[in-house]
Amino acid sequence: MYLTEEQIAEYEDKGYVLVKNMLTADELAVLESALQDLGKHDGPEVSREADGSPHVVYGMHALDERFSALAHHPKLVGAAEELLHQQIYVHQSRVNIKQKGGAIVDWHQDFGTYHRVDGVPEPKGLMISILLDECTPCNAPLMCVPRTQHAGIVQEASVNKNAVDHGAAAKYRYDIPHETLDRLVKENGLEAITGPAGSILFMNMNVVHGSTVNITPLRRTILYLNVCTIDNRGTAFARPEYLAARDFSPIIPGEADVLSKFATA
């Protein structure tokens, strides 16, 4: 097993579980090198901050073989299959880089967009978040409302046409109104996801989450692999492929060194 019984129970209760130190220092170095190369990409997959620095790069696993290797990492694939009880495919991948002043991401559910826009039938999937940097209470960590996976899709959510974060993706995101968020937090609490670099969060795609502006000089970079079970395919294709998959092939896990083999001596 890739996850303990306690970790699986935590996921089933809260809708997410953070597994610390899943990746090694060598693997993190490979991903950091890939990140630096990806920042030079200048296609439509890149959304930038006001100063021109990259903020989000979508479709990372299709742009760089090292991120593709990450998607096939046996620890990630194995843990995801243990939680979902099926093989998985990548619905969307992205890098989120929060430098000082990095933009807010308002409260939402990933399934809100995947269902309404991409035609994904059920919330049978995960947001897999790989912490490339240490996430602390100070540098705008991801925040989650536990147990909101049980609430189903939030019907009050709507697209904020004035959203400025994340460029192309924000116009498809269904933000949750303050009144609904207030109720959900009062009922379930709120948790900031903090941990060392190399930790990985496995989160149900119906969990309400968001993050605030990073006002510190501490970079906060998270790599995201949003996966669905292979029987839970998107049926609508309004968004480009780097935002919503067309390839529903199951992810085949690689060898243990699938990522570390890229490390330089």
Angle between helices 5-14 and 74-84 (to 10 degrees): 60
Does residue 20 belong to any structural domain of this protein? yes
Does residue 125 belong to any structural domain of this protein? yes
Q: What is the mean pLDDT of residues 2-14?
A: 98
Q: Domain range holding 218?
A: 5-231
Q: How many helices (H) and strands (E) does the chain have?
A: 7, 13
Does residue 236 belong to any structural domain of this protein? no
Does residue 171 belong to any structural domain of this protein? yes
Q: What is the pLDDT of residue 51?
A: 76
Does residue 255 belong to any structural domain of this protein? no
Residue 84 in tokens: 């979902």
Query: What gap in Å lies between CA 254 and CA 65, rounded to an integer?
Result: 13
The total number of structural domains in the chain stands at 1
How do residues 75-121 score in pLDDT, each as one tens digit? 999 999 999 999 999 999 999 998 887 778 889 999 999 999 999 99
β-sheet bridge partners, residue 123? none
Confidence of residue 169 (pLDDT cuts 50, 70, 90): low
Average pLDDT of the residues of the chain: 92
Residue 118 in tokens: 């991409």
Does residue 76 belong to any structural domain of this protein? yes
Does residue 263 belong to any structural domain of this protein? no
Does residue 257 belong to any structural domain of this protein? no
Query: What gap in Å lies between CA 114 and CA 262, rounded to an integer?
Result: 33
Look at residue 248 and tell me whether its pLDDT is greater than 80.
yes
Look at residue 155 and tell me whether its pLDDT is greater than 90.
no
pTM greater than 0.85: yes
CATH of residue 195's domain is 2.60.120.620
First to last CA, the chain: 31
For residues 87 and 251, the answer to whether their CB atoms sit within 8 Å is: yes
Query: What gap in Å lies between CA 90 and CA 62, rounded to an integer?
Result: 10
